[in-house]
Amino acid sequence: DSGVTQTPKHLITATGQRVTLRCSPRSGDLSVYWYQQSLDQGLQFLIQYYNGEERAKGNILERFSAQQFPDLHSELNLSSLELGDSALYFCASSVEQENSPLHFGNGTRLTVT
């Protein structure tokens, strides 16, 4: 158990809809990262938050947004969903320290029909 909790585990929704994915980081970790994994490919970095502030942005679509709350949990909002958004979405957390690994949750599987 990595200590990172993601909900829900599965989400099935229709095109055009909006969903929210939730992540609780490991106790003590201030950084949260969101990654997308499509069709057994590698993990693509979307966005990082550190202690409530956006720290880094990757290949995140404009239809997607995220935030980190004062209790350090994070939410990833996906809107105007398209079929191609179907993927596994992983959250990870870490201490903000050189040479520290990221610890991943078990992901949310999003299916857009």
**Residues near another protein (CB under 8 A):** 2, 4, 6, 31, 33, 35, 40-45, 48, 55-56, 58, 90, 92, 94, 96, 98-107
Instruction: Estimate the share of the chain in helix, then strand, then coil, as percent rounded to the nearest 5.
Output: 5, 50, 45
Please say which residue, 79 or 86, places its beta carbon nearer to another protein.
Answer: 86
CB of 16 to another protein, least distance (A): 28
Give the shortest CB-38-to-another protein separation in angstroms.
11
Cβ-Cβ contacts under 8 Å for 72 (sequence gap 6 or more)? 24, 25, 29, 30, 32, 51, 52
We find the least distance from the C-beta atom of residue 103 to another protein, in angstroms, to be 7
